[in-house]
Amino acid sequence: MRPDLTPDPSSPAPASHKLWGGRFAGGPAPELEAVNRSIGTDIRLWPFDVRLSKGWARGLGAAGVLTADEVTVIRDGLDRVASRIGSGEQPIGSDEDVHTFVDRLLHEEAGDPAGRLHTGRSRNDQVATGARLWTMDAIDRLLPMLTALMQALVEQAESQIDAILPAYTHLQRAQPVSAAHWLLAHVWAFQRDRQRLVAARTTAAVLPLGSGAIAGSAFAVPRDLLCDELGFASVSPNSIDAVGDRDFIADTLYALTMLGTHLSRLAEDLILYGSSEFGFVRFGDAYSTGSSMMPQKRNPDALELARGSAGRMLGDLTALLVTIKGLPSGYNKDLQEDKRTLFAAVDGMALLLPAVAGSVATLTFDRKRMRAAVSGGLMATDLADYLVRKRVTFRDAHGAVGRLVREAEEAGVELWDLPMASFSAAHPAFEGDVLEELKPEKSLSHREIPGGTGINAVRAQLAAAKGLIAS
Ligand code: ARG
């Protein structure tokens, strides 16, 4: 049955704008108000609070709670509220949270019909809906920034396919690789981050509105229409779960923490390689800072901050999970903590990604220094592989090459400087063609296996990476 739509002339105008309070004899203690107030943080939800409120007004119209005129008055009023806040209107001291702020302004703009908007909804389903919309929007903003960083790495890789540098294990020189292979290694990690962010967005795209405080709205608002109007992918199937579920924030924080971790590892590589000791890369002027004391310094601050920020994100992820883990079902005020962690991680990432992308795009590579670091010892595995190709077992080959390495070390020369007699003494299968085998380019040419550092394999990898970025 449709409710009676005539206004109730007996409802008193509220003395101060609050969304609750009728059941209390006096007002809350200032100490409670101070700790309870979240407007300083959740003000950022306002565009989404306005949007979901416009959707809810239309839904209440469809449910027969609002007349068509009231729906129009409320929706137009919400548009004016949005332009007021958009042009700088600030909350007042008594605005407990963003929902109260928007509601107070709506009363000023739309008059009495505004008092009907909160029918059948609660701030519990409202804040969950607003935070989900905010998260979906934030991920949409971050993804192109991440893609731009991947693009910068791919462009640098393209110009360094034939540059050779040592790859390190245990930070000890291990084997020669294409510089593009090393750069692309980071691109694949960022691709997984992209997938994680997309997955977190999917988790967020479930509509809680219509769940009310905990039991579901008593008014037949068509949630499927609301879902489409607000850009969600589906409707939450359980109102108790919907108001207490913050998995989407945890998923987002985890995705951002992993991304922060990968930024940190890239930064660490670049900081090391940019040191005078390595000297493989040089940081662009626009992405280097100087020292207030030492005139010669060229510091990669953006990269150091990227390395430093991952810890803060991990801390916020941990804080959120600890907040959630002890909560009983449904909404609990503890959940108000969620937005601080979410906003901090997204803000941090929105600053870091462009700064790291710029740092990467403006790097220059010193091919001579990279090549010079490819010392003879890096060819030891290739020497053993050479013997294996001559049917020596890998175990025996490993032993023979180990003896050669020791001999070179004792003589203070590189492997390729040892006389042929030493090779023959180490193993009779060594022949004159071994000298050719000792060239780092040769090492790469043996590794055309998919995913390996052979030049053609790297070209294929580069094409795959480019395809991903374009998709
Ligand atoms: N500021 C609150 C939050 O961020 C909004 C929801 C308040 N709900 C309530 N029942 N008091 O979680």
What's the CATH number where 142 sits? 1.20.200.10
170 is catalytic: yes
Closest listed residue to residue 208, CA positions, set 235, 232, 230, 228:
235
Q: What number is the average pLDDT over the span 282-308?
A: 86
Q: Residue 82: inside a domain, yes or no? A: yes
Query: Count of domains in the chain?
Result: 2
What is the pTM for the complete model shown?
Answer: 0.93
Whether residue 176 sits in one domain with residue 276: yes
Residues 105 and 187 reside in one and the same domain: no
What ligand 1 atom has the least distance to the C-alpha of 213?
10
Q: Which of 435, 155, 428, 165 is nearest to 278 (CA)?
A: 165
Residues 6+ apart with CB under 8 A from 421: none
The residue nearest atom 4 of ligand 1, judged by CA position, is: 336
95 and 133 housed in the same domain: no
Ligand 1 pocket, mutate which of 323, 336, 340 (most atoms under 8 A from CB): 336
Whether residues 57 and 134 fall in one domain = no
Q: For the residues 450-463, what does the mean pLDDT come to?
A: 98
Supply the pLDDT for residue 3. 47
Q: Is residue 377 part of a domain?
A: no
Task: Please indicate whether residue 271, judged by its CB atom, sits closer than 6 Å to ligand 1.
Answer: no
**Of 1-15, 21-35, 187-201, where does the model show the most confidence?**
187-201
Question: DSSP secondary-structure letter at 293?
Answer: S
Extract the tokens encoding 223: 């949630």
Domain span holding position 242: 124-371
Q: Which residue has the tokens 């219509």?
A: 210
430 in Cβ contact with 424 (< 8 Å): yes
Return the structure tokens found at 252: 């987002």
Q: How far is the CA of 333 from the centre of ligand 1 (A)?
A: 6
**211-264 residue pLDDT tens:** 999 999 999 999 999 999 999 999 999 999 999 999 999 999 999 999 999 999
Nearest CA to 121 among 331, 339, 329?
331
Give 294's pLDDT tier (boundaries 50, 70, 90).
Answer: confident
Helices (H) and strands (E) in the chain, counts: 19, 6
Average confidence (pLDDT) over 155-164: 98
Give 295's pLDDT tier (boundaries 50, 70, 90).
confident
The pLDDT value given to residue 201? 98
Instruction: Please identify, by atom number, the ligand 1 atom nearest to the C-alpha of residue 42.
Output: 4
Distance separating alpha carbons of residues 339 and 248, to the nearest angstrom: 12
Residues 189 and 69 grouped into a single domain: no
- With a 6 Å cutoff on the Cβ, whether 335 touches ligand 1 is yes
* CA–CA dist 465, 341 (Å, integer): 32
Q: How high is the pLDDT of residue 378?
A: 94
**Residue 4: predicted pLDDT:** 54
- Residue 264 CB contacts under 8 Å (≥ 6 apart), including other chains: 306, 307, 308, 309, 310
The verdict on whether 291 is a catalytic residue reads: yes
Tens of pLDDT, residues 95-141: 999 999 999 999 999 999 999 999 999 999 999 999 999 999 999 99
The full length of the chain comes to 471
Best residue among 41, 124, 125, 133 to mutate for probing ligand 1, ranked by most atoms within 8 Å of CB: 124
Residue 110's contacts (CB-CB under 8 Å, 6 or more residues apart) are 73, 74, 76, 77, 78
161, pLDDT greater than 60: yes
* Average pLDDT over the chain, rounded to an integer: 94
Q: Is 97 a pocket residue for ligand 1 (Cβ < 6 Å)?
A: yes
Ligand 1 pocket, 126 CB below 6 A?
no
